Amino acid sequence: MDLFAQLLVNGLGNGSRYALLGLGFGLIFGTTRIVHFAYGPIYAVAAYAAWLAASAAGLPLAISAAIGVAGAALAGAAVYGLAYRPFEARGMSSHSVLILSLALSIVLDSLLTLAFTPSVQTIPEFTAPIFILGPVYVTALQLGQIAAVVAVAAILTLFLRRTRYGQAILALGDNRDMARIVGIDTDRISLVVFAIGSAVSAIAAVFTLLNEGATPTMGFNPVFIAFVVAVVGGLGSIPGAIAGGYLVGLVESLGLWKIPTEWQNSIAFVLLFLVMLVRPQGLFSGLKR
């Protein structure tokens, strides 16, 4: 029972990161219909930007995290503006854009390896406080991750519902042609969406940096997790992505109870497979944004 409680806490912690990943990925895909594989290396860019700020420049953690988030937002917007957008403007099919995003992802991975070496970079002086609640250990990072999901979900919801940009994002996600017809600058909105989606994933990246450190390929698994979470949750819905994130996190963690560790990474995909089989529109797709 103690093990179960501990796995539950771990699942909630990881699930929070997955929820953030799914939120960012779902926002980008739901609005632009681009399957953004380069989401992975941009996640790594966020971690490295924060790491440089904290270790090389010696900035405080909060500021370093903000720099990581801003760096990812810039990198995400740049990938859209310099790579995807010119392809789309030439009328390339979504398959071509998909291949482009895979290629881009490989190139960015290599560049990160060249710049930072393949070894793990950590912020040396950082250790997260640990709280002991009865039989379970809860780290400050786990609590921080949960708080981040709550904050991001609240801000995103308000942003989408209340602001002009938010309405334009919803409109673009619903019907691109109509969005242009009512006078929305769809290129600019897509750029903004890439920036926001990347920023959201960057929050998860900063937590990963603090947990495990940064490596050039640290974004590889998260892209797939983001994909699974977004699909399981029903693409483009905020509550769906959050529910999907926690579902994947909990299933993965609680699965360890009975399933050997080496299968942990496969659990998410088994879940994806099952969901696609039973409810291809996503488990939570009926929920409103």
Partner 1 sequence: MSARLVIEGLNAGYGKKTVVNGVDLVVEPGEIVTVLGHNGAGKTTLLRGIFGLIRLKSGKVGFDGRDITGRSPSDNILDGVALVPQGHGIFRSLTVQQNLELGGFSVTDKAVIAERIARVFGLFPILEERHRQIGGTLSGGQQQMLAIGMALMSGPRLLILDEPSIGLAPLLVERVMDSIREINAELGTTILLVEQNLKQGLAVANRAIVLNRGTKLYDGSPAELADEGRLIAMF
CA distances, 238 to each of 20, 31, 156 (Å):
10, 13, 8
Residue 226 in the binding site for partner 1 (CB under 8 A): no
By CB under 8 A, name the one of 86, 185, 212, 273 that touches partner 1. 185
CA distances, 1 to each of 4, 8, 128, 178, 254 (Å):
5, 10, 25, 54, 12
Residue 191 in the binding site for partner 1 (CB under 8 A): no
Contacts of 14 (CB under 8 A, 6+ apart): 249, 252, 253
Residue 182 in the binding site for partner 1 (CB under 8 A): yes
Residue 93 in the binding site for partner 1 (CB under 8 A): no
By CB under 8 A, name the one of 2, 125, 177, 262 that touches partner 1. 177
Q: How many residues interact with partner 1 (rule CB under 8 A)?
A: 15
SS3 43: helix
- Candidates 4-12, 17-25, 100-108, 173-181 — which segment interacts with partner 1 by CB under 8 A? 173-181
Residue 178 in the binding site for partner 1 (CB under 8 A): yes
Least distance (Å) between residue 13 CB and partner 1: 33
Helix runs in 33-175, H state only: 39-51, 61-79, 85-89, 94-116, 140-162, 164-174
Which of 28, 59, 42 lies closest to 203, judged by CA?
Answer: 42
Residue 176 in the binding site for partner 1 (CB under 8 A): no
The phi and psi torsions of 131 (rounded to 5 degrees) equal -110, 140
Least distance (Å) between residue 169 CB and partner 1: 11
By CB under 8 A, name the one of 180, 213, 269, 270 that touches partner 1. 180
Query: Given the complex with partner 1, which of 139 and 237 has the nearer CB atom?
Result: 237
By CB under 8 A, name the one of 124, 183, 260, 280 that touches partner 1. 183
Residue 170 in the binding site for partner 1 (CB under 8 A): yes
Query: Given the complex with partner 1, which of 162 and 279 has the nearer CB atom?
Result: 162
Query: Given the complex with partner 1, which of 63 and 158 has the nearer CB atom?
Result: 158
Which of 8, 288, 12 lies closest to 148, judged by CA?
Answer: 12
Q: Are 230 and 29 in contact (CB under 8 A)?
A: yes
By CB under 8 A, name the one of 171, 243, 250, 271 that touches partner 1. 171
CA atoms of 215 and 117, how far apart (whole Å): 8
Contacts of 169 (CB under 8 A, 6+ apart): 27, 31, 160, 189, 192, 193
List of residues contacting partner 1 (CB under 8 A): 164, 167-168, 170-171, 174-175, 177-178, 180-185
